[in-house]
A = this chain, B = another copy of it.
């Protein structure tokens, strides 16, 4: 059979049929009352999701565009910035600040570890920073960082806290205002279950002050331009209208399920996946205490290339897993359980992975990984 494609990569993630339907509806003009109503609806839903009283701007770009908007509008050439780097996306955030002429201090952590709070506190005591750049869910290492605690540290300083939450919003708790996040950036194609093409970001009053003093050239990603338009419930440049329509439905799905339930579902999927892999004798990359609820990285058996396993899984079962990036290449595979994914998806995936491991010559007792996951789903563990 033409393989059923099962996207278990950390974005893009499976799009629910109701979201796809909404995107297939006839387009509306973007300078109309209809679009204004749509953007106003999205505002109120996104504020609730972000935990913020501030506007949430939607940019027609992928997540990196949102990260660029955060930096370009606040950081001036020569500004000192502290980048918390514990994986590929932490590195990207630091590179972005360097591209805008910032003097970037990086605080680096081993891949697979979370940002150590004591070291952050130390650095903040040692020097003044214009901004701290942090990654909420580091998909490259499948670690989630404690943004709440990082916010508690930056709050007492002059540093703005800019957070890449591209892959976490809609799947893991985040509270922009309560946690002291100045700019929170996310994107459509992860836990939000919409195809790629939208970045969203909230901006605190403290960040707007920095925006007013920003000197770097910017146009498409200009936050003052976005601010001027949002008053009329609009965007400065042509928005990806169909993705907005899809997001409207996807957010309704999230609130219909309930935010707490959505976060719990992701945690349960992660716990079940972790339990299954451990039962199969495989080692998760992230320690349990900081393991991402959205994606589980697993070390391949010593004698095997992770990409060989991935090849069997996709060829035989149509399940696309992610490989390891950079230093994890060939050594790690990653199973995303993000967005429109449920227990049956993961159980079928784990069973298919067991057969694939056996096909690759690994010793596997069929059903043993599945049983560990079932115990989690049944609430027995």
Contacts and interface: CB of A to CB of B under 8 A. Distances in A.
Contact of A370 (B257, B358, B367): B367
Given A354-B374, A371-B366, A2 B344 contact: no
A375 to B, nearest CB: 6
A1 B348 contact: no
A257 B351 contact: no
Residue from A348, A369, A377 with most neighbouring chain B CB atoms (10 Å): A348
Interface in A74-128: none
A369 to B, nearest CB: 8
A343 interface: yes
Given A367-B367, A371-B367, A344 B4 contact: yes
A262 B375 CA distance: 34
Given A1-B265, A351-B370, A366-B370, A358 B344 contact: no
Contacts of A346: 348
A342 interface: yes
A371 B358 CA distance: 12
Interface in A351-368: 351-352, 354-355, 358-359, 365-368
A344 B355 contact: no
Copies of this chain: 2
A345 B343 contact: no
Nearest to A368: B367
Nearest to A358: B378
A332 interface: no
Interface residues of A, number: 44
B348 A377 contact: no
Given A342-B317, A344-B317, A348-B344, A262 B1 contact: yes
Contacts of A367: 366-371, 374
Given A318-B342, A352-B347, A375 B370 contact: no
A319 B347 CA distance: 13
A361 to B, nearest CB: 13
A339 to B, nearest CB: 9
A349 interface: yes
A304 interface: no
Nearest to A365: B371
Which of A1, A370, A378 is most buried by chain B, counting CB atoms within 10 A of its CB? A1
Given A342-B317, A344-B319, A358-B378, A1 B257 contact: yes
A318 to B, nearest CB: 7
Given A343-B317, A371-B366, A378 B359 contact: yes
Given A352-B347, A378-B355, A340 B1 contact: yes
Contact of A377 (B344, B355, B374): B355
Contacts of A371: 365-367, 370
Contacts of A253: 1-2
